[in-house]
Every structure is written in structure tokens, then in C-alpha cells.
Structure 1
Amino acid sequence: MFFSEAGARPRTWEASPSEHRKWVEVFKACDEDNKGYLSREDFKVAVVMLFGYKPSKIEADSIMSSVNPNTSGILLEEFLSIVRKKKEVQLHRNEIRHIFTAFDRHYRGYLTLEDFKKAFRQVAPKLSERTVLDVFREIDQDSDGLVSFKDFEYAMNYGQNEA
């Protein structure tokens, strides 16, 4: 696959000291009664505070099932690890969105083959038109001649997981 060969990868990222302090402060603020851990509900509030959305039941179940069964909730170090991973995913998705937007010069919310050709002429002028067409067809899963952000994101992440 083209994206496997391209090696689409999120950059490694570390939280700044101020961001790390903010995460610790949120943990402490959400740790009702200073238990030393976050319950399921505490965790949901912390995610709202840091990311602006309430986690779904599936996300909360997944997080809680990964917690050490000998504890009653999420300890600070576990929480920091979870938040760091969520932040990395958020940054990677934003990077993919930025690339998609650069391709979508008409702000239509989808890409055409012509959009791909123009973008590739600018960033990889020696790439053959045949290769650009192959990439487009690979991403256009439903063969309707349009690539949505969802299709584009899937292709970028698929390439990342393949390599």
C-alpha cells in the first residue's frame, strides 16, 4: 500500500511541564475525598475538563477494565498515561485534518482526483500520474470519485498500522 510505504507516523510528543502540572491538578480536583484514585465518574469529569467531551460508556468501560483490579479506580500515574495517549491521538488526528484541508483547496469536505493531482504536483512533482491515480483509488473505498475526511483518515492510519 502507498501509505505503508510512505510511513505515515505520528510524531513523538511529550507534555510540557506546565501541561503535566495541569493534568495533575485536574486529577486532584476530580479526586473527590482525596482517595488517591479516580472513580469512573471522576474520570469522566476529568476528561470533560481536559478534552471538552464526556467519554462514552464504551470508552469508560475500556479504561476502567484496564485498571489494576486491586485498586478501586485510576491512580495518578495511570491517569497521566491515559491522558498522554489521548493527547497524542488528538494531535495525530489534527495533523491528518491539516493535511486533508491542504488538499481540499475548495473547502468542500471531500477530495477529487483533480485535488490529488494538484497537491501531488506541488509536493512530489516527479511522482507519476499513474501512482497518484493508484493512491486515489486506494483511498476512495466506495469508488464514487470522492474521498471524505473519514476515508482519508482511515488510509493515513491504516498505513501507520501496516508499517
Structure 2
Amino acid sequence: MSLSKAGFCSRTREASPLEHRKWVEVFKACDADNKGYLSREDFKIAIVMLFGYKPSKIEADSLMSSINPNTSGIVLGEFLNIVRKKKEAQLYRNEIRHIFTAFDVHYRGYLTLEDFKKAFKQVAPRLPGRTVLEVFREVDRDSDGHVSFRDFDYAMKHGQNEA
């Protein structure tokens, strides 16, 4: 049983009108020559403006290769779709971090079976103890009795794919 099947699922949300407007404004600001699209460099600047980091060459290459080959860059609709997906991924990662931190009541940077039992008792009191144990064993991939954030993050992502 995965964490998502045990009741810990992420939810996506639509961009607010304010966010959407901001994304359009960033697109227009980065399309300095009013070409109607963002070049690779324009796109990198837009991502810095919205997310505070410069995309790697691999990320930029991947995104540029995924766009319509008949265009010279990323048009507004494609840009909005890319930004929406990046925002969802960012929110999902923050949600996973928040859940992990809520489980890690002793601030150790890892979770034990006891941490799982306490957390599940609060959020799913009727969940059988064997199910909690099964989830813990699945998440504790190296069977050392400790679940790191990396293991937790992996389990949450793979649990989402199974749902």
C-alpha cells in the first residue's frame, strides 16, 4: 500500500487570475522585440523572474525540443502551460516537505515506525496497524528503520503514479 492509497494524496489547483496575469506580463516583458514568442534566452529570463532560478541547459533543451518545430520559440500558450506545470510541481514538492515535517516531530531529519504510527493515528485512526507497518516498510526502501525525506519523496511520487 502506498502513502497516497493510505490517504496522503496531492491535489492540483488552477492558477488564480492574478497568477495568470502575472505569467502573461512576464511573457510580454521577456518578449522584448514583440516577436510573439520567447527565444531560449528569453525563456531563461522568464523562469528566473517567476521561479528565482536559471534553468539548466538540459532543462532548456528539453523544453525547446518539445515545442512546435514550426515556431522559433515558445509562444504564449505553450509558456503558460509550462509555467502551470512547473508551479504544480513546486507546490507538490512543498506539500510533500510539509507532510514529512509534520511526521518528523522530533526534527531528526528522518522518520521511524513510531513516527508513522503516531501520524496515522491522528489522520486515519481506524487504519489497521498492519497497514501502517506495510506502508512504513514500503517507504523504508533500504530497510534500516529510518525514512529520509528522499525516501518519503520517492514514495509519494510513485504512490501518485499508482493511484
- Bin for the TM-score computed over the shorter chain: over 0.9
SS at match of 1:78: helix
- More helix per residue: 1 or 2? 1
Aligned length: 163
Question: What is aligned with 1:122?
Answer: 122
How does 1:42-53 map onto structure 2 within 5 Å? Answer: 42-53=42-53
Question: What is aligned with 1:40?
Answer: 40
How does 1:55-134 map onto structure 2 within 5 Å? Answer: 55-134=55-134
Quick one: percent identity of the two aligned structures? 81
- 1:95 Cα offset (Å): 1.2
Structure 2 length normalisation: TM-score?
Answer: 0.93
- 1:3 Cα offset (Å): 3.2
Which amino acid is the alignment partner of residue 106 of structure 2? H
Contact 1:96-1:156 at 8 Å conserved across structures:
yes
Question: What is aligned with 1:15?
Answer: 15
- 1:128 Cα offset (Å): 2.4
In structure 1, runs of 5+ residues without a counterpart are none
Q: 1:72 to 1:8 in 2, by over 3 A?
A: farther
Q: 1:8 to 1:113 in 2, by over 3 A?
A: closer
For residues 142 and 35 of structure 1, the distance between their equivalents in structure 2, rounded to whole angstroms, comes to: 52
- 1:9 Cα offset (Å): 4.0
Which amino acid is the alignment partner of residue 94 of structure 1? N
For residues 108 and 88 of structure 1, the distance between their equivalents in structure 2, rounded to whole angstroms, comes to: 28
- 1:6 Cα offset (Å): 3.4
For residues 92 and 111 of structure 2, the distance between their equivalents in structure 1, rounded to whole angstroms, comes to: 20
Contact 1:45-1:54 at 8 Å conserved across structures:
yes
- 1:125 Cα offset (Å): 2.0
Which amino acid is the alignment partner of residue 76 of structure 1? L
Question: What is aligned with 1:54?
Answer: 54
- 1:110 Cα offset (Å): 1.1
For residues 9 and 131 of structure 2, the distance between their equivalents in structure 1, rounded to whole angstroms, comes to: 21
Contact 1:109-1:149 at 8 Å conserved across structures:
yes
For residues 46 and 68 of structure 2, the distance between their equivalents in structure 1, rounded to whole angstroms, comes to: 19
- 1:19 Cα offset (Å): 1.0
Contact 2:27-2:38 at 8 Å conserved across structures:
yes
For residues 78 and 53 of structure 1, the distance between their equivalents in structure 2, rounded to whole angstroms, comes to: 20
For residues 53 and 11 of structure 1, the distance between their equivalents in structure 2, rounded to whole angstroms, comes to: 25
Contact 1:3-1:158 at 8 Å conserved across structures:
no
For residues 4 and 27 of structure 1, the distance between their equivalents in structure 2, rounded to whole angstroms, comes to: 35
- 1:5 Cα offset (Å): 3.0
